[in-house]
Structure 1
């Protein structure tokens, strides 16, 4: 009698559970590594292009108030009336002020006051006037234009602001960037008993 040979076929859809577990672990590890890499790149790009600062003080009231957070976009062209974040030599921390005077703007100083032309170049029909500290007035006395690569900045709350009137021009290289967004602080009301 001829011998019967049985062909055994592997059953479809059944795999080794150990192989499934290895594949699942490998997939999870790849996804975690990919997620961490993506987060690292996003974080690097954000730090390269943006910074966040918390406002301290009242020199920019009502535009910015104590403990507001601002997002500063780095390496942006500065225009008149932009709010910029910058550092000042011999001063601690960052400052946030509004740009009033641009490089090349016509100006003059008389009796400790700076008259800044913010209209057409040289016509002095649209001006702003600022009382300067004696040191800054002396420094600006011989100028008839704002020098290249510096800006005249002032706080919106002019009565209390420490700005270009007291520390002079702000160097372009000291400007971190322009304020793009204000994130207001959430003040929770205290319950009274």
Structure 2
């Protein structure tokens, strides 16, 4: 009988207000949830755009990478880190871990990456004179530092030129790559 009072063509005014209030509350709740989720994601993850060619072929110029913050670093992980007196973030591959055996002769570092510490599995790197002097007296990679190298070793600025990367300088490990989309220009 209530519908006859308002007619069939329109809803009662209270139903409209209830619907409007429900929609407004859902919007407010959705926005709040998105802000909370965004804050949690930013707390645990970051995104960086690759600049340069030092990680080719794994990462290319303008790729974006998702970095998981405060994750455990393992050999061959790709990490994002900062270096004192250098601008921006670096993204390189971890080759040497704390405690790995090593020695330096004539500005060349021999790094033992084997499990036994017997130099059966090694990598050799040409170091800058400054880094070679810094590493000269070491026989192991010190605690809380890592030796990192770019995949494109011929052009990479990495531990061979700036030394070890401190654990506290590592933002996290790369978890995912978003490839850059290069659109072909018409008429070229």
Aligned pairs for 1:118-137 within 5 A:
118-137=113-132
Alignment length (residue pairs): 183
Aligned pairs for 1:57-136 within 5 A:
57-136=52-131
Match status 1:49 vs 2:44: yes
Q: In the alignment, which residue of structure 1 is the partner of 2:165?
A: 170
Tell me how far 1:184 sits from its aligned partner: 0.8
Tell me how far 1:21 sits from its aligned partner: 2.2
Q: Contact (CA 8 Å) 1:69, 1:185: kept in 2 or not? A: yes
Q: Deviations over 1:76-134 (max 9, x none)?
A: 11110000000000000000000000000000111111100000242000000101111
Q: Contact (CA 8 Å) 1:106, 1:121: kept in 2 or not? A: no
Q: TM-score, normalised by structure 1?
A: 0.91
Tell me how far 1:12 sits from its aligned partner: 5.1
User: Aligned to 1:119, what secondary structure does the other structure show?
Assistant: coil
Q: Contact (CA 8 Å) 1:105, 1:121: kept in 2 or not? A: no
CA distance in 1, matches of 2:69, 2:183: 32
Tell me how far 1:68 sits from its aligned partner: 0.8
Q: Deviations over 1:122-149 (max 9, x none)?
A: 2000000101111111111111110111
Tell me how far 1:29 sits from its aligned partner: 1.6
Tell me how far 1:159 sits from its aligned partner: 0.7
Q: In the alignment, which residue of structure 1 is the partner of 2:12?
A: 17
Q: In the alignment, which residue of structure 2 is the partner of 1:4?
A: none
CA distance in 1, matches of 2:41, 2:160: 33
CA distance in 1, matches of 2:183, 2:73: 36
Residue among 170, 181, 184 paired with 2:176? 181
The unaligned stretches of length 5 or more in structure 2 are none
Q: In the alignment, which residue of structure 1 is the partner of 2:154?
A: 159
Q: In the alignment, which residue of structure 2 is the partner of 1:144?
A: 139
Q: Contact (CA 8 Å) 1:152, 1:164: kept in 2 or not? A: yes
Tell me how large the CA RMSD over aligned residues is. 1.4
The unaligned stretches of length 5 or more in structure 1 are 1-10
Tell me how far 1:18 sits from its aligned partner: 2.2
Radius of gyration: which is bigger?
A: 1
